[in-house]
Structure 1
Amino acid sequence: MDDPTDAHRPLDLHVLERTVEHLAGRYAGVISPEVVERVVFESYAALARTARVRTYLAPLAGHFAADRLAALAHARDRDGSTVPRVLFVGRHDTGRAQIAAALLAHYAGDAAVVRSAGTEPGAAVNEKALQLLTARGIEVGRVYPKPLTDDVVRGSDHVITFGTGAAVPAYPGTDHRDWGTDRTVTGNPGELESLVTELDEKVRALWQQIKP
Structure 2
Amino acid sequence: MSDTPIVLFVCVHNAGRSQMAAGYMSALSGGAVEVRSGGSEPGDSLNPTAIAVMAEEGIDISQAVPQLMTTEQVRAADAVITMGCGDACPIFPGKRYEDWELDDPKGRPIDEVRAIRDDIRSRVERLLGELVPDAS
- Common fold: TM-score over 0.5: yes
Provide the residue aligned with 2:53 in structure 1. 132
Task: Tell me the secondary structure at the aligned position of residue 110 of structure 1.
Answer: coil
Provide the residue aligned with 2:85 in structure 1. 164
Distance in 1 between residues matched to 2:34 and 2:86, nearest whole Å = 20
Provide the residue aligned with 1:193 in structure 2. 114
Greater share of strand: 2
Quick check: 2:24–2:121 contact (8 Å CA) kept in 1? yes
Which ranges of structure 1 fall in alignment gaps of 5 or more residues?
Answer: 1-80
- Larger Rg belongs to: 1
1:110 aligns with 2:21: no
Provide the residue aligned with 2:8 in structure 1. 87
Cα deviation code 1:63-101 (max 9, x no counterpart): xxxxxxxxxxxxxxxxxx620100011000001111111
* Percent of aligned pairs sharing the same letter: 35
Quick check: 1:86–1:158 contact (8 Å CA) kept in 2? yes
1:209 aligns with 2:134: no
CA drift of 1:187 comes to 4.4
| Aligned residue identity for 1:163 | G
Task: Tell me the secondary structure at the aligned position of residue 128 of structure 1.
Answer: helix
Provide the residue aligned with 1:177 in structure 2. 98
Task: Tell me the secondary structure at the aligned position of residue 30 of structure 2.
Answer: helix
Quick check: 1:186–1:192 contact (8 Å CA) kept in 2? no
* 2:18 aligned to which of 89, 97, 111: 97
Task: Tell me the secondary structure at the aligned position of residue 117 of structure 1.
Answer: strand
Aligned residues: CA RMSD = 1.8
Quick check: 1:103–1:203 contact (8 Å CA) kept in 2? yes
CA drift of 1:163 comes to 2.1
Using CA pairs under 8 Å that are at least 6 residues apart, name the structure with larger relative contact order, 1 or 2.
2
Task: Tell me the secondary structure at the aligned position of residue 8 of structure 2.
Answer: strand
CA drift of 1:141 comes to 5.7
CA drift of 1:153 comes to 0.8
So what's the TM-score if we normalise by structure 2?
A: 0.89
CA drift of 1:165 comes to 4.2
**CA, structure 1 residues 182+168, in 2 after alignment: closer, same or farther (shift >3 Å)?**
farther
1:122 aligns with 2:43: yes
So what's the TM-score if we normalise by structure 1?
A: 0.58
Greater share of helix: 1
